[in-house]
Amino acid sequence: MPCYEFRGIVPVVDPSSYVHPQAAIIGDVIIGPGCFVGPSATLRGDFGRIVVEGDASIQDAATVHVSSSHDTKIGRGSTIAHGAVVHGCQLGENCLIGINALVLDGAEL
């Protein structure tokens, strides 16, 4: 699985989730049960934490990141579509972030 330690913090991925071998999971990232992370997706928890709750889908080439002042949460059943960027925000349950969409720091959906 493509998980990388950053500053001594190792990502945690529930064994029932699928992470494509070409994805990158870096640092303080927690992925819950039944999730899907597609090829070329990047989840980078370098300056804060990313929590992906159960049954979420992060599709091909999506980027999930944090800011120095905002962690990122992806709610249960949410989908981050192809090429979207989710940065330092809070997504509730069953959100759909469309293809190539951009959701930035402090947003709450």
Residue 100 — very low, low, confident or very high, per pLDDT cuts 50/70/90? very high
Percent of the chain with pLDDT over 70: 99
pLDDT at 2: 87
Instruction: Report whether pLDDT(1) > 80.
Output: no
**62-83 burial string, b = 16+ CB within 10 Å, else e?**
bbbbbeeebbbbbbbbbbbbbb
Average pLDDT of span 40-56: 97
pTM for this entry:
0.95
Q: What is the pLDDT of residues 10-24, one digit of tens each?
A: 999 999 999 999 999
